[in-house]
Amino acid sequence: ASFLLLCFRSPLVTCLIFGLLLQPPLTELSIITQPNIVLLMADDLGIGDVGCYGNDTIRTPNIDRLAKEGVKLTQHIAAAPLCTPSRAAFLTGRYPLRSGMDAINNYRVIFWNAGSGGLPPNETTFAKILQQQGYSTGLIGKWHQGVNCESRNDHCHHPLNHGFDYFYGMPFTLISDCEPTETPEMDRAFRRKLWLSTQMIGLIAFTAALGRVTGLIPVRWKTLTCLAGFSFLFFVSWFSSYGFVRYWNCIMMRNHEVTEQPMVTNRTTFLILRESISFIERNKHKPFLLFLSFLHSHTPLLTTEKFLRRSKHGLYGDNVEEMDWMVGQVLDAIDKEGLKDTTLVYFASDHGGWLERQEDKRQLGGWNGIYKGGKAMGGWEGGIRVPGIFRWPGVLPAGKVIDEPTSLMDIYPTVVHLAGGAVPQDRIIDGRDLMPLLQGTVAHSEHEFLFHYCGVHLHAVRWHQKDSGAIWKAHYVTPIFSPPGAGACYDRGFCPCFGEGVTHHDPPLLFDLSRDPSEAKPLSADTEPLFDTVIGKIGRAIEEHRRTLTPVPEQLSVYNVVWKPWLQPCCGTFPFCWCDKEGDC
């Protein structure tokens, strides 16, 4: 009553001020201040393929606009040089070997939808935390983190079991087998390895059975049954790679339902873009997380007629330019809904471009600019240095460039903190919150060391010597390029992580990336006075890092990656899996 009396006796402005001061505090302030988060991730895009990173022949005006209106990172590093482990690290903020998502063998990614390996259910993704903070969470596009564990519909590795409310896309990844007109990918080294493994296990099983029958080898029937089962699994997996890959791997899902088996590739781009814009429109009235995981620019480079024959770089350039157009459509949808100032947009690639991907004289993989190496190479910059762009008008400065070591793993704590959540305290999180660096309240990245793995094999280590500005990088293992000096492993298709295809260095090769970003001139004790000091410092960091590692189940073990018929997602009655539920789109 006294307040009302005061209002009658005071000017209107005074009244309003008192009214505001007497308002109770907002109980949902954290929700009001939570930004929308849109994460855009390209597949196999090289850092040299984007205009704002120096390319002047592939047109990427929308990605370039993001950089002009936001912050560009020039030393943004993937935690692995291949899809499955890199994305596992991105989702969890942890080096992939901490979750078992890096390989001790040559099976370095998930090879089948019907494998049993994948992102473990006990891992906590940033999507799960944002979901708990009240966000609507959606994943559109590529997953490649596994589907099932023990049965066809348990979906233990599925996006909806990892914090996403909505999923539309490929549970696997694009491969050339998805396009009937393209040369299959899975008939290459993978088939040879499967057949060799089938023969070896079959021979062991036959020898054991013969020994049991003749009494020369005391083998239990249980052991024989297991050997026979393994032999059958490998044979079925090898046999299925001929003609069945398109039906087993090239499928589309909406949430838990298979919608296309096999996928109809000439409308995939349209559907992914439609789903992304629809998700934004449906969730514009509450905080949302959209992870748009592009199928571009992975082979077979699905490109619509509108963008064909437009780029100087053939089909690959066409595909990148179409992806840039899709980025623009998503940004336009954000603007249309009036969400630009309340939305953090991030763009990156999962790892470097695939140099060896060629057909005849066509280059179907990306370009990594001045950086040596490419996809599958865990140490060289070309395999792990990727575009990294943030835009949030009014919060992040426009046109800023940051040349500090950052990681894709940093997205995890960054978006968790923005959402008002807390990172898990029961495990090591290797990422660091980037907001202070992006906003300019600190000058240096929190990363002192970054460890560069190829599978579970440590190939290189980066040390950010902040007091001097030097970025030291020591290579302990490097792949052997073939032909010599070619800059890639053209005779293999991928560079290996171990074995006869690599060289071990003792002492390690040392570079100062601040002076030699192309890693062209290795330093030595004769040419660099700090050589021994730097190598000693990095060596101690490796010892400390290894003490933080604990054994976990190997998600990419031979058993986990092999095709298992009882785990195959199927639209229909297995093995007659076929459907097209998007036919009226």
Give the pLDDT score at 212: 75
CA angle 477, 480, 481 (to 5 degrees): 135
Reported as a pLDDT band with limits 50, 70 and 90, residue 188 is: low
DSSP assignment of 423-488 equals --SSS-------HHHHHTSSSS-S-SEEEEEETTEEEEEEEEETTTTEEEEEEEEEE--BSTTSSS
Tokens of 479: 């792949």
Residue 197 pLDDT class (50, 70, 90 cuts): confident
Q: Which of 345, 306, 349 shows the shortest CA–CA distance to 53? A: 349
Give percent of the chain above pLDDT 90. 79
Q: Which of 20-34, 187-201, 475-489, 503-517 has the lowest mean pLDDT?
A: 20-34
Give the pLDDT score at 125: 98
Q: Where are the domains of the chain?
A: 38-174+252-580, 188-243
Q: Model pTM greater than 0.95? A: no
In three-state secondary structure terms, 33 is: helix
Per-residue pLDDT band for 241 (boundaries 50, 70, 90) equals: low
Q: Alpha carbon of 520 to those of 55, 355, 370, 516, 529: distances in Å?
A: 21, 18, 10, 7, 19
Question: Is the pLDDT reported for residue 196 higher than 80?
Answer: no
253: confidence class by pLDDT, cuts 50, 70, 90: very high
**pLDDT of 23 above 50:** no
Whether residue 555 has pLDDT greater than 70: yes
Tokens of 214: 């003749």
The CA-based angle 546-549-555, given to 5 degrees, is 130
- How far is the CA of 393 from the CAs of 368, 414, 420, 442, in angstroms? 29, 17, 20, 19
**What are the catalytic residues?**
83, 144
Sign, CA dihedral 172-433-454-349, equals positive
Q: Which CATH number fits domain 38-174+252-580: 3.30.10.20, 3.30.830.10, 1.25.40.10, 3.40.720.10?
A: 3.40.720.10
User: CB–CB of 349/47 below 8 Å?
Assistant: yes
pLDDT of residue 14: 43
pLDDT of 202 reads 78
**Three-state SS across 304-360?**
CHHHCCCCCCHHHHHHHHHHHHHHHHHHHHHHHCCCHHHEEEEEEECCCCCCCCEEC
Token pair 């140490």: residue: 379
**For residue 215, pLDDT beyond 70:** yes
Percent of the chain with pLDDT over 70: 91
